[in-house]
Amino acid sequence: MSRVLGLDLGERRVGVAISDPLGIFAQGLDILNIRGKSDLLNKLSKYFNSYEITEVIIGNPLDKMGRDSQKSIEISKFSELLHSHYNVKVKLWDERFSTKEAERSLREFNKKKFQKHADKVSAQIILQSYLEKIRDEKFL
């Protein structure tokens, strides 16, 4: 069954999350240490080879007013590269509050280790919010 991959892109680290086969729940999967876009594309191949990925959701760091930031423009360009490389649907998803929510959740869980997992949890939060929005639209 198909799955959705969620990404929280950073300069050096990328949080990765994946949906369950029914597209209901997101699970934090990994944190990738990367050295540029081509390195990231290569490292993502293990997920495309292991799972039937039909869609990728990438956190879009809009500014506080909901407009494109310089980083969101760069991520938009990467999304086009990802689409052409893996021939998969790619969507950008507003991530303005995902990192703060991840840090808050992880601090409550374990103050000492929250930074180590923040990127993965951010990807999970981004993906989960997307899955919930899609599910809500189906039932309207």
Structure-token pair, residue 3 = 């799955």
CA distances from 42 to 6, 8, 55 (A): 16, 16, 17
In the predicted model, what is the mean pLDDT of the chain? Answer: 86
pTM of whole model > 0.75? yes
Q: State which residues form the domain around 82.
A: 2-138
DSSP the chain: -EEEEEEEE-SSEEEEEEE-TTSS-EEEEEEEE-SSHHHHHHHHHHHHHHSEEEEEEEEE---TTS---HHHHHHHHHHHHHHHHHT-EEEEEE-TTHHHHHHHHHHHH-GGGHHHHHHHHHHHHHHHHHHHHHHHHHT-
CATH number, residue 46: 3.30.420.140
Domain count, the chain: 1
Asked whether 43 and 34 are in contact (CB, 8 A), the reply is: yes
Which is nearest to 4 in space by CA: 127, 104, 118, 86? 127
Per residue in 93-139, pLDDT (tens digit) is 987 665 556 566 656 666 556 566 778 888 998 999 899 888 877 66
Per residue in 27-39, pLDDT (tens digit) is 999 999 999 999 9
